[in-house]
Amino acid sequence: MDAILQDCLDRLDRLDVHTMYGGDFFLTWEKSDEELAAVFAVADALRNLRERNRSTRIFDSGLGVSLFRDNSTRTRFSFASACNLLGLAVQDLDEGKSQIAHGETVRETANMISFMADVIGIRDDMYIGKGNRYMHEVVDAVTQGYRDGVLEQKPTLVNLQCDIDHPTQCMADMLHIIHHFGGVEHLRGKKIAMTWAYSPSYGKPLSVPQGVIGLMTRFGMDVVLAHPEGYEVMPEVEAVARHNAAKSGGTFAKTHSMDEAFQNADIVYPKSWAPFAAMEERTQRYGRGDTEGIRALEKRLLAQNARHKDWCCTEARMKTTKNGAALYLHCLPADISGVSCAEGEVEASVFDRYRDPLYKEASYKPYIIAAMIFLAKVKNPQATLRALEERGAPRWFQK
């Protein structure tokens, strides 16, 4: 048995994850520590199997349905990769092409697309109070459909980004951190700064900063959330972060100073987002069809952003981090000063120096998604991973 794989199996042996079978993945803070640890262990195991050319197909056929309500390259490819890795074909539910546009109810559509669906992945992050709720409606519908004998099985939902959390991104970020520091046991007392940064674009979702403070507070780290006044995130998620920090023996602090956040940080995550209150306002204006109000709001937000152009991840600030060498994170694409915009979230030389680790950070996402699916679809993950190893079918056949 390969040593890395054996380690993953050993980790799984110590975890109680029977609760995940048949489940869904909405928010990280709805999952137990053991469940999150299981996702990391299975992600590592699947990657190990693939990199040693072992087939990880657990599905001979079956569909992974994707619904993207916002543009996406990397999440789309990550979901497609994860489905493919497990043997599922991706079928996009394109609302433009489909009869959803004709006023179908969520309940009906959810069942109609699920007769042979094993997984449904949804990205719906634009409107506060909508995305996560929509995902729950879909899951309620297919759960009912399964109970009523309409569906042979309940497909598993994977939240590919909602208005509250971006669990596949943050779990990938976290697995990157774990590997960077050589294990989850080395994270206690590490300082991570989740900080707002200036971007010339408007209305970026809150799900990443919220997901980060909701997740990273669970590992005994000192999590600092930094942003200018007026860029508050959802108060409920801050409450989650405080609760997590208390429980994990870490801390959760807030500041309005980027400098303070960077000071001696082990990890920095500088990224733009829109104020929660503004996003709420926008959602309400959209609901009322108030186009003029939305345009005015957008103008106001851009002007508000422009007052904080000094919130940039500069070389000077990086020097103030632990040994001047904090791990720089971003969900990508970043707004890079002088590259993708005149002034942005990060200086080009900082971004360039961290390009490799950033790409590696992103590389965990397909495996995180695959692990979420795997744990929802396989009753005994250790035994099944072991069986995949023993089956020994090559992913890529050659003599």
Please report, as residue ranges, which positions from 280 to 339 form the binding site for its own copies (by CB under 8 A): 332-333, 339
Coil/strand/helix, residue 313 = strand
Q: Which of 44, 178, 377, 389 binds its own copies (CB under 8 A)?
A: 377
Stretch of 52-60, 163-171, 209-217, 306-314 lying at the interface with its own copies (CB under 8 A): 52-60
Among 245, 171, 243, residue whose Cα is nearest residue 208: 171
230 vs 278: CA distance, rounded Å? 9
139 vs 154: CA distance, rounded Å? 8
Q: Roughly what angle, to the nearest 10 degrees, separates helices 381-391 and 365-377?
A: 110
Count of residues engaged in binding its own copies, rule: CB under 8 A: 78
199 vs 195: CA distance, rounded Å? 13
What's the min distance (Å) between Cβ of 140 and its own copies?
14
Q: Please identify, using beta-carbon distances, which residue of 50 and 322 lies nearer to its own copies.
A: 50
Location of structure tokens 């120096």: 353
Q: Which of 8, 45, 93, 192 binds its own copies (CB under 8 A)?
A: 93
Q: Which of 18, 103, 182, 183 binds its own copies (CB under 8 A)?
A: 103
DSSP track, 21-56: TT--BS-GGGS-HHHHHHHHHHHHHHHHHHHTTB--
Element (H, E) at 318: helix 315-319
What's the min distance (Å) between Cβ of 55 and its own copies?
4
Residue 145 in the binding site for its own copies (CB under 8 A)? yes
Q: Which of 89, 253, 294, 348 binds its own copies (CB under 8 A)?
A: 89
What's the min distance (Å) between Cβ of 250 and its own copies?
30
Q: In sequence order, what are the beta bridge partners of 192?
A: 223, 267
What's the min distance (Å) between Cβ of 344 and its own copies?
11
Among 273, 323, 50, 41, residue whose Cα is nearest residue 174: 41
Other residues' Cβ atoms within 10 Å of the Cβ of residue 31:
23
Q: Which of 18, 102, 303, 392 binds its own copies (CB under 8 A)?
A: 102
Q: Which of 35, 44, 118, 266 binds its own copies (CB under 8 A)?
A: 118
Site string for its own copies, 55-84 (x = CB under 8 A): xxxxxxxxx-x--x--xxxx-xxx-xx--x
Contact 329, 268 (CB under 8 A): yes
Residue 13 in the binding site for its own copies (CB under 8 A)? no
What's the min distance (Å) between Cβ of 300 and its own copies?
22
